[in-house]
C-alpha cells in the first residue's frame, strides 16, 4: 500500500512538473510572438503598426486580448493590424491570457519620441472632452475602465481615433467602451485628432513633479 501511494505521489509530481513546463513554454512562445511585432522591449514598431504595450495596465491588456480572441475587436476588413492581432491570440486560453497580461504589464515602458505635430491650443480644447474618463493628465481610471493615454505611441493614438470615427473599431455591440469612443470621435475631425494627440504627447513629455 505504501509503495502504491508512493508511486501515485511520484506520478502526480511528475505530471504537475511536466504540465508546468508546458505552460511556461506556451507562455514563452506567446511572449516571443508579441516581441516579433511589438519589438524586443515591447515599445512598439511603427512600420508594422504595432503599438507600445510595455507597462500597460494589466486589466486593459487582458480585456483587449480577450476582445481580439472573441471577435469583439479586429474583425473589420479595414483593420489589418487588428486582424493580425486576432490571429495571434486565437489559441490562448484564459490562464495564458492572464499570465501574458501580467508579464507585459510588469515591464518598464520607454520614453517614446513624438512624431505628430499639432495645434496645442486646439488640442487642449479637445482634450477637455477626454478628462472625465482618462483623467487630467491622461493617466487613466481603472474604476471606469478608462486606460491611460500617456506612454503610448502618438501615431497609434491618432490612428485609433480615426478608426473609432470611421467605425473600424468600436462597432461591435459588445464593445461598450469602444462604442463610447465612437460617439466621442464623431464630434471632431482628423486635424483635431492630430491636435489632441500632440497635446497628449506633450503631457507625457512634461515634468511630473506636480502629478
Q: What is the pLDDT of residues 52-62, one digit of tens each?
A: 999 999 999 99
**pLDDT (mean) for 76-102:** 96
Q: What is the pLDDT of residues 129-155, one digit of tens each?
A: 999 999 999 999 999 999 999 999 999
Q: For residues 192 and 188, give the distance between their C-alpha atoms in angstroms, rounded to a whole number.
A: 6
The per-residue pLDDT for 28 is 65
Q: What is the pLDDT of residues 153-167, one digit of tens each?
A: 999 999 999 999 999
DSSP code string of the chain: -HHHHHHHHHHHHHHHHHHHHHHHHHHHHHHHHHHHHH-TTS--BTTTTBPP-TT--HHHHHHHHHHHHHTSSS-STT-HHHHHHHHHHTT--HHHHHHHHHHHHTSPPPPPPP-----HHHHHHHHTTTHHHH-TTS--BGGGTBPP-TTS-HHHHHHHHHHHHTTSSS-STT-HHHHHHHHHHTTS-HHHHHHHHHHHHHHHHS--TT-
The per-residue pLDDT for 29 is 79
Mean pLDDT of the chain: 87
**pLDDT (mean) for 18-36:** 63
pTM for the full model? 0.83
Residue of higher predicted confidence among 11 and 87: 87
Ranges 11-15, 102-106, 187-191: which has the least confidence: 11-15
The per-residue pLDDT for 204 is 67
The per-residue pLDDT for 30 is 84
Confidence tier at 207 by pLDDT (50, 70, 90): low
The per-residue pLDDT for 195 is 98
Amino acid at each position: 500500500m505504501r509503495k502504491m501511494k508512493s508511486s501515485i505521489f511520484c506520478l502526480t509530481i511528475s505530471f504537475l512538473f511536466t504540465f508546468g513546463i508546458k505552460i511556461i513554454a506556451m507562455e514563452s512562445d506567446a511572449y516571443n510572438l508579441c516581441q516579433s511585432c511589438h519589438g524586443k522591449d515591447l515599445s512598439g514598431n511603427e512600420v508594422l503598426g504595432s503599438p507600445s504595450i510595455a507597462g500597460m495596465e494589466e486589466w486593459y491588456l487582458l480585456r483587449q486580448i480577450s476582445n481580439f480572441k472573441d471577435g469583439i475587436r479586429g474583425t473589420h476588413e479595414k483593420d489589418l493590424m487588428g486582424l493580425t492581432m486576432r490571429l495571434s491570440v486565437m489559441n490562448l486560453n484564459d490562464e495564458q491570457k492572464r499570465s501574458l497580461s501580467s508579464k507585459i504589464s510588469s515591464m518598464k515602458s520607454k520614453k517614446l519620441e513624438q512624431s505628430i505635430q499639432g495645434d496645442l491650443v486646439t488640442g487642449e480644447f479637445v482634450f477637455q472632452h477626454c478628462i472625465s474618463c482618462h483623467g487630467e493628465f491622461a493617466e487613466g481610471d481603472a474604476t471606469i475602465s478608462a486606460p491611460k493615454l500617456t506612454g503610448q505611441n502618438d501615431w497609434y493614438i491618432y490612428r485609433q481615433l480615426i478608426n473609432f470615427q470611421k467605425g473600424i473599431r468600436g462597432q461591435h455591440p459588445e464593445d461598450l467602451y469602444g462604442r463610447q469612443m465612437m460617439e466621442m470621435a464623431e464630434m471632431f475631425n482628423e486635424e483635431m485628432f492630430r491636435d489632441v494627440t500632440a497635446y497628449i504627447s506633450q503631457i507625457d513629455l512634461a515634468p511630473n513633479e506636480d502629478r
